[in-house]
Structure formats: C-alpha cells, structure tokens
Amino acid sequence: MKRKSNSQQITRLLEAAITIAGSEAKLGTLAGYSQNAIWYAKRNGRVSAELASAIDHATKGAISKTQLRPDIFPPATTISGASL
C-alpha cells in the first residue's frame, strides 16, 4: 500500500507543477522534456532523479526534487545549537 500512496503523492505533486507551469507541454518545455514524458510520469506516479531536478528548476523550487524523490534527495538537516 505504501507504494500506491507514494505514487498518488507524486501524481499530486506533478499536477501542482503542471498548474504552476500552465500545462503539461509548458512544464515539459521549461524542464527540457516532452509533454509526453510529463504525462507518462504523472500517469505512473514516478519520476527519474533527472526529471525531479528539472521540475524543481522549472518551478523555481515550488515543487522540489526532495518532494518528488526523497529517496535520492533527502531533506537537508540542520544542527541546532552547534558551535564551531
């Protein structure tokens, strides 16, 4: 079940990126991919690391590569109270 919910989350994130860009074709152009590649990723709920990075760049970070592929791009960690 986890796979399916993750797939649905990716689909929702891609839909948000498409909304930001204006269309699948526009997101594809901004990301350097075809409209078909965007459609296919949305349909399958999966993105490559390269596509995740491209969408991050195309949406100016609104949809981050960390959101799309946390397995490859984990959230940044901060060290609180650390003194150097």
pLDDT in the model for residue 80? 66
**Measured between alpha carbons, how far is 58 from 69 in angstroms, rounded to an integer?**
16
pLDDT in the model for residue 1? 45
Structural domains for the chain: 2-67 (1.10.260.40)
pLDDT, mean of each 10-residue run, the chain (84 residues): 78 98 98 98 98 98 97 83 56
pLDDT in the model for residue 5? 82
The DSSP line for the chain is -HHHHHHHHHHHHHHHHHHHHSSHHHHHHHHTS-HHHHHHHHHHT---HHHHHHHHHHTTTSS-HHHH-TTTSPPP---TT---
pTM for this model (two decimals) = 0.85
